[in-house]
Amino acid sequence: MNAESPHIVPPPPDGLYQLLVEAAVDYAIFALDPAGRVTSWNLGAERIKGYTASEILGQHFSNFYPPEARGRDLPARLLETARSTGRAEDEDWRVRKDGSRFWADVVITPLRGRGGELLGYGKVTRDRTEQRTAENDLRTNEERFRLLAEHARDVIFRFEYTPAPRYSYVSPAICDLIGYTPEELYLDPAAGFRVIHPDDQPRLAVLKTSGMDSDLWIEVRLVSRDGRTVWTEQRVTPVRDAGGELIAAEGIIRDITGRKRAEVELKAAKLAAEAALAQVKQLRGVLPICSYCNRIRDDSAFWHRVETYISAHTDARFAHGVCPACFDEVVKPQLEELGITEHE
């Protein structure tokens, strides 16, 4: 086979070509005559399509197509495309002998003699059912992730470190958080740093240079479009290549500005309470008190009842009552003189 005539069929060198075709068990490789009837059949074709050579030789290759494909005359159109353009490619469903379907990747090329006459067609079919299923599953998962990310209140992101620092993905929630759209961050790589509060930029740079061994929870201040400081809590997961080099960071950004404001207010309230307690009047030192009347002498040498003195020097208040000892010594005798018993 020479470069100028890629589809001219030379005689096989000592059966080597036949051995090569038979060894390709992952590919259905077979020949068709100009009318589309099967003239050769390898083990790969038997494995993929389910027919033995004796069952399929001489049969039209349209047997491999589902009814809807035959209805739109796809087999004949593929042969015509291969004949007129030198190649026909197709990815679509095909049918096995048992009626089951598989997703096929098909290439058909015309086979011509040295005079250019059409001898038939070579057809190579690969079963891509598993790959297609995996690709569909991947697309489904990506769509689910996209819907989740686009409707989540938290910001989901991926930041690339190589070849140049930039955001490769930011969910739409970033707009509600700091007023910038994802597209603005994509188009302006430097914006990814500008939105970080200047006081926090050195700390994040250290994280990159020192490397991240595992997931991190960090608090980072961002600066919104209108200049507000937005407190965020970020979970950052390092992404490394096969050689262990840090190439990206993925994570979630959560707005904790309300929580930080509450912490500040709580701290201020605590300081205010401590200051108020410090201003409460307290009694210290030695208090002169009369041993008989229990009056207390103040700094001006005046004597006061205990209640009066304490009320003047503290915030305490009094609720008067009778203790058990005074009741037995004073109140009870008086009640008895009046003829009133304790139970009355």
Write the pLDDT tens digit of every residue in 246-276: 888 899 999 999 999 999 899 998 888 777 6
Which range is least confidently modeled, 8-17, 46-55, 114-123, 233-242?
Answer: 8-17
| Residue 108 and residue 82 in contact, taking contact as beta carbons nearer than 8 Å | yes
Q: What is the mean pLDDT of residues 27-37?
A: 95
What tens digit of pLDDT does each residue of 166-180 get? 889 999 999 999 999
For 34-68, give the DSSP string: TTSBB----HHHHHHH---HHHHTTSBGGGGS-HH
Same domain, 39 and 124: yes
**With pLDDT > 90 as the criterion, what percentage of the chain qualifies?**
44
| Contact (CB, 8 A) for 191 and 174 | no
Of residues 65 and 160, more confidently modeled: 65
Give kind and range of the element (H or E) at residue 233. strand 229-240
Q: Which among 113, 128, 143 is the end of a domain?
A: 128
Strands 246-255 and 229-240, bridge-based pairing? antiparallel
Q: How many domains does the chain have?
A: 3
In a domain, residue 240? The reply is yes
Average pLDDT over every residue of 112-139 = 91
Is the per-residue pLDDT at 285 higher than 60?
A: yes
Tell which wins on pLDDT, 70 or 310. Answer: 70
pLDDT band of 70, cuts 50, 70, 90: very high
- What is the pTM for the complete model shown? 0.46
Query: How much is the pLDDT for 190?
Result: 84
Q: For residues 284 and 251, state if they share a domain.
A: no
Q: pLDDT value at position 3?
A: 43
Phi, psi (5° rounding) for residue 180? -100, 145
Residue 74: give its domain's CATH number. Answer: 3.30.450.20
Instruction: Give the bridge partners for 156, in sequence order.
Output: 252
- For residues 92 and 51, membership in a common domain is answered with yes
Band of pLDDT at residue 4, cut at 50, 70 and 90: very low
And the tokens for 278? Answer: 């410090």
Considering only CA atoms, which of 302, 39, 113 is closest in space to residue 30? 39
- Residue 63, domain member (yes or no): yes
**Average of per-residue pLDDT across 219-246:** 91
Are 68 and 166 in the same domain? no
Q: 225 and 287 in one domain?
A: no
Q: Which is it for strands 28-32 and 118-127: parallel, antiparallel or unpaired?
A: antiparallel
Average pLDDT of the chain to the nearest whole number: 84
Residue 136 lies in a domain: no
Number of helices (H), then strands (E), belonging to the chain: the values are 14, 11
- Domain match, 24 and 119 both: yes
Residues 241 and 295 placed together within one structural domain of the fold: no
In a domain, 135, yes or no: no
* Residue 139 covered by a domain: no
The helix (run of H) or strand (run of E) holding residue 123 is strand 118-127
pLDDT of residue 1: 43
Of 306 and 344, the one with more pLDDT: 306
> Based on the domain organization, do 161 and 209 belong to the same domain?
yes
User: Mean pLDDT over residues 2-25, rounded?
Assistant: 56
| Residue of 181 and 329 predicted with greater confidence | 181
Pairing relation of β-strands 88-95 and 28-32?
unpaired
Question: Quick one: average pLDDT of 108-123?
Answer: 94
Question: The domain containing residue 183 runs over which residues?
Answer: 152-256
Q: Within this chain, do residues 288 and 212 fall inside the same structural domain, yes or no?
A: no
Strands 166-170 and 155-160: antiparallel
Residue 322 has pLDDT above 90, yes or no: no
* Residue 295: pLDDT over 60: yes
- Establish if 110 belongs to a structural domain: yes
- Type of residue at 141: N
How far is residue 248's CA from residue 253's CA, in Å, rounded to a whole number? 16
